[in-house]
Amino acid sequence: MITIVDYGMGNLRSVQKAFEKVGSQAVISCRPEEISQASKLVLPGVGAFRDAIHALKEQSLVEPILEQIQSGKPFLGICLGLQLLFETSYEDGEYAGLGVIPGKVIRFQDQPGLKIPHMGWNQIEPTAPHPILEGIPEQEYFYFVHSYYVAPEEESVVAAYTDYGCRFASMVARDNIVAAQFHPEKSQSAGLKLLENFASF
């Protein structure tokens, strides 16, 4: 069973409906015991990093999420769910994340003509073939909404890059973890294919 973590931040129903559209059942849960029993886990998120990590701690969800990741079960992070995997975010201060992937979360630098947040369709450039991108054309477009991006310490975890004022990591992958800065549930056929691939893991 695919379990979508509900910690009060994110368009959970949209993610659930997208999985249903590709024929996969997904449940939304805020219960630590249900998250611990998931066969596949999805951590979505929209909003501020500080609020998100606070909500995860308040609802006793950090430990079951980390246990799931360490167990080797498939894990998908979406948007803020990607950023939460990292050690430190500098969004409106400095906040510790889940610490699963070494690196930090930083803001796009102000540049003439560059609108922040990065909002709309943009291409991803995969670094190597990965099962999550099977059947998706290279240089495919996905839908982004974010002002901060992840900067991994190790380039080996980067699964795809995107250009927006700079070249940033738009996907990471390591072992059972896959996470994307873009929103697959808002990315039409390419996003649905990505979710279908995850459901088949």
**CATH code: domain of residue 85:** 3.40.50.880
Q: How confident is the model at residue 11 (pLDDT cuts 50, 70, 90)?
A: confident
Number of domains the chain is built from: 1
Can you read off the two tokens belonging to residue 137? Answer: 């054309």
Residue 142: the pLDDT is 98
| pLDDT for residue 174 | 98
Does residue 124 contact residue 140 with C-beta atoms inside 8 Å?
Answer: yes
Q: What's the CA gap between 124 and 113, in Å, rounded?
A: 21
Q: Is the pTM of this model over 0.95?
A: yes
List the beta bridge partners of residue 77.
43, 179
Of 90, 78, 41, 103, residue with least CA distance to 171: 78
Tokens of 175: 């072992």
Tell me whether residue 185 is one of the annotated catalytic residues. yes
Residues 47-100: tens digit of each pLDDT:
999 999 999 999 999 999 999 999 999 999 999 999 999 999 999 999 999 999
In which region does residue 72 sit, left (phi positive, over 0), alpha (psi from -120 to 50) or beta (all else)? Answer: left
Active site residue 79: yes
The yes-or-no verdict on residue 104 having pLDDT over 90 is: yes
**Which two tokens mark 19?**
């999985």
| List 118, 140, 146, 185, catalytic entry | 185
3-state secondary structure of 96: strand
Of 79, 118, 140, 196, which one is the catalytic site residue? 79
Question: 145: domain range?
Answer: 2-199
β-pair type (2-5, 26-29) = parallel
- Active-site pick, 91, 118, 140, 183: 183
